Amino acid sequence: MNMTTLKQTLTYRITQTVVTLMLAAASLLLSQSSAIGQTTPKPTPTPPPPADDPLLRVNLPPVTVNAQKEPAEIQTLPVSVTAISAETIEQAGLRTVTEGAMFAPNTVFTEFTARKLSNARFRGIGSSPGNPAITTYLDGVPQLNANSSSVEFIDVEQVEFVRGPQSALFGRNALGGVINILSRKPSLKKWNGGVIAPFGNFSSGDVRTSASGPLITDKLAASFGFGYTRRDGFTTNDVNGKDIDSRSATFGKAQLFWKPNARWEARGVFSGERARDGDYSLSDLEGLRAQPFHAFRTIEGFTHRNISAQTVQVEYTGSKFDFSSTTGFLHWDTDDLTDLDYTSLALVTRSNAEKDFQFTEEARFSSAKGAPIVLSPTAAQPLTGIDGHLTPILSVAGGPMSGSVTDATSADFRFGATIWPTATFLCALDGAPLAPCAALYSTADLAAGPHTLQVQAWNGQLHTPVSTVDWTVAPVVQLSQSDPPPPEPSRPVR
């Protein structure tokens, strides 16, 4: 078929298709016109009224962190914190805190090949091995040397990157921020466990297994976890053809969790790690530019590290006060050997051995969350209260109030925020949604029964935790018309 015949055939087929479509459209219009002429037109349905709030709102599950040494919802804290959950750690395959930093903004780690030199940087503020400005806390125990801070993840519940100065709560070594690593508590209900074994190039392999369950249901539980990880190095030694910066480590963790009753609980965490990493992949810049990932080593160096840590946590939650204690014992030692002349001759070498023992103890007493310390008849706040907490209700039905009130069908509530003089308030009566309200909030003609008022302060950027006050209105007893009137008291006759 030549080109002329092909064009004619295409033109015929296109024309035939267009004509067919036009006929079908005309037939459809005629049928609709006939139907309209024979039937009564239906009224146009009225569109539903617009919703009060046209925005699509999605409620995310609350995230609880320990960024200020006690559990709190992340949205209520005046700090910049990123929390990485156990689910994210598992799904993303995170194995160390260095890898978790990719989920936290303004966070980066600098590493010198071996894991013992892993230094965090928040917002440009870094940390040195012996005097860090960013301190890592493992189950409440500070790692005051970088040699023990970067450990392999196993049975980790959550990792928190708290950016910005935290020295008021964590001391001088928290000028840049804090990293909280929290272990998963053993299960008091049933046994569970798992095994993961990823692998990849550079002969990398990883095996981690853990199990957790009750020894005495709802009373005593235990968990065990072990792992091994390794990979070849990325840098080749041109002297012998071997890699320089390999990594290898064996690690484990065991926990014992005791909860004798609802108020007391105690936990012991025992962990250890044996790392056998290669040498630092250092070389001169000119040689690296000419041949990246290549170096000269006449001596095969190494970086060895051993860590042993024991932590004991005790918590008591009372009706009047709370108590918690964290006791930490930490042993670590390192042994390094590296070639520093960057040539094929053994001119300069460095050998370094370090070890340390660290003991820490932190005991905290605070008023119970539901029983604040009363400072005056009209003001009270928790002993461990932080800036932004609401001062309690000043008056109910004209009188001072502490706790709850009975038989008040009308009440006046006056609010104040301790450090936010110009704060606005959100109120909710009897389960209604929080809505803006005045600092003087009044109720009237309340029905008999229990009532609840929730209050929250807002300074334009931050919310305080919700404060709640409960009271009960007693029913009013009235006589009906069918009931006889009460007899009048008799009067003596004179």
Confirm whether 482 is domain-assigned: no
Structure tokens at 466: 């919700």
The answer to whether residue 371 scores a pLDDT higher than 90 is no
Lowest mean pLDDT among 240-254, 337-351, 445-459, 474-488: 474-488
Cα-based torsion angle of the residue sequence 338, 342, 344, 348 in order, rounded to the nearest 10 degrees: -50
Torsion over CA: 388, 392, 397, 400 (sign) = negative
Torsion over CA: 316, 322, 323, 326 (sign) = positive
**How many structural domains are present in the chain?**
3
Express each pLDDT in 466-494 by its tens digit: 777 777 776 654 444 444 555 555 555 44
User: Domain holding 378: CATH number?
Assistant: 2.60.40.10
Structural domain that includes position 380:
373-473
Express each pLDDT in 24-76 by its tens digit: 444 544 444 444 344 444 444 555 555 565 677 777 788 889 888 888 888 88
Whole-number pLDDT of residue 161 = 96
List, in order, residues 6 or more apart from 59 with CB less than 8 Å away. none
Examine the domain organization and report whether 350 and 403 are in the same domain.
no
* Confidence band for 436, pLDDT divided at 50, 70 and 90: confident
The answer to whether residue 21 scores a pLDDT higher than 50 is no
The top-scoring range by mean pLDDT among 333-337, 394-398, 401-405, 465-469 is 333-337
The top-scoring range by mean pLDDT among 5-14, 86-95, 448-457, 480-489 is 86-95
CA separation, residue 274 to residues 96, 253, 303, 312, 334 (Å): 15, 12, 11, 22, 10
Whole-number pLDDT of residue 419 = 54
Confirm whether 49 is domain-assigned: no
- Do 151 and 136 form a contact (C-beta atoms < 8 A)? no
Examine the domain organization and report whether 199 and 83 are in the same domain.
no
Q: Which residues pair with 316 in a beta bridge?
A: 264, 323
H helices of 378-452, in order, are none
Please give the Cα distance from 415 to 441 (Å, whole number).
8
Lowest mean pLDDT among 85-89, 401-405, 428-432: 401-405
User: Domain holding 360: CATH number?
Assistant: 2.40.170.20
- This prediction has a pTM of 0.66
Average pLDDT over residues 129-144: 90
Examine the domain organization and report whether 143 and 204 are in the same domain.
no
User: Domain holding 179: CATH number?
Assistant: 2.170.130.10
Examine the domain organization and report whether 325 and 360 are in the same domain.
yes
Examine the domain organization and report whether 224 and 106 are in the same domain.
no
Q: What is the DSSP string of 24-39?
A: HHHHHHHHHHHHHHHS
Please give the Cα distance from 251 to 287 (Å, whole number).
36
Examine the domain organization and report whether 354 and 220 are in the same domain.
yes
Examine the domain organization and report whether 178 and 211 are in the same domain.
no
Examine the domain organization and report whether 416 and 461 are in the same domain.
yes
Confirm whether 441 is domain-assigned: yes
Average pLDDT over residues 2-15: 40
- Do 339 and 283 form a contact (C-beta atoms < 8 A)? no
- Do 280 and 111 form a contact (C-beta atoms < 8 A)? no
Mean confidence (pLDDT) of the chain: 78
Examine the domain organization and report whether 345 and 209 are in the same domain.
yes
Among residues 152, 183, 214, the one where a domain terminates is 183
Examine the domain organization and report whether 259 and 356 are in the same domain.
yes
Among residues 330, 349, 367, the one where a domain terminates is 367
